[in-house]
Chain A
Amino acid sequence: GQNIDQPTEMTATEGAIVQINCTYQTSGFNGLFWYQQHAGEAPTFLSYNVLDGLEEKGRFSSFLSRSKGYSYLLLKELQMKDSASYLCAVVDSNYQLIWGAGTKLIIKP
């Protein structure tokens, strides 16, 4: 079966750095997305990785290792507004999106 694993919840301190991991086992791979979702709102796009390596976009970076079936989202200089759920999603061989359950990130002052 297809599976996306990410931690259920993480806590970090304002101004710090946090890494949210995502591991996947899917039938094929055509890219990996990270989305941010604030409580009660729709997900919004953060990043897309299809090749191995690190993609940096401001305070957020996303890393992919296809051989390890692994990705992480790195958030730097955390702000209170970063408190949200972070969703990992993989595009499989049929170009279908397989979603993880999301990681709820709690930022403390």
Chain B
Amino acid sequence: SQTIHQWPATLVQPVGSPLSLECTVEGTSNPNLYWYRQAAGRGLQLLFYSVGIGQISSEVPQNLSASRPQDRQFILSSKKLLLSDSGFYLCAWSVSDRDTGELFFGEGSRLTVL
């Protein structure tokens, strides 16, 4: 069966510090991978998605970046965090050959920037 795991689950970082959130998927090959941010009272905001190794599409301009060094690994990074980066970050995957496929989410990472 397929599983998705992201970490860390919770982190508190000072403004200007770097960030690295990691996500891995097991039990499937060549998944589509996504990073979402969820702010309180707002819908899920797509930050990045990837259809293959090294292929990253950015949906919103920001101080975040994403990388996909391996087929089933997706990393969200920042060199200098802003207060507005606080939120609940979700990694997700979907089957690559289905345009309207169901998303499977990781456990989420709650980031607080102080």
Residues of A near any B CB (own CB < 8 A): 4, 8, 30-31, 33, 40-45, 48, 50, 87, 89, 91, 95-102
Contact = CB atoms under 8 A, between A and B. Distances in A.
A interface, over-half SS: loop
Nearest to A104: B41
Contacts of B110: 40
Chain B: interface size category: 10 to 19
Contact of B43 (A41, A42, A102): A102
Contacts of B43: 4, 87, 89, 98-102
Contacts, number: 48
B46 A97 contact: yes
A40 B107 CA distance: 9
A19 B42 CA distance: 21
A30 B108 contact: no
B108 A101 contact: no
B106 interface: yes
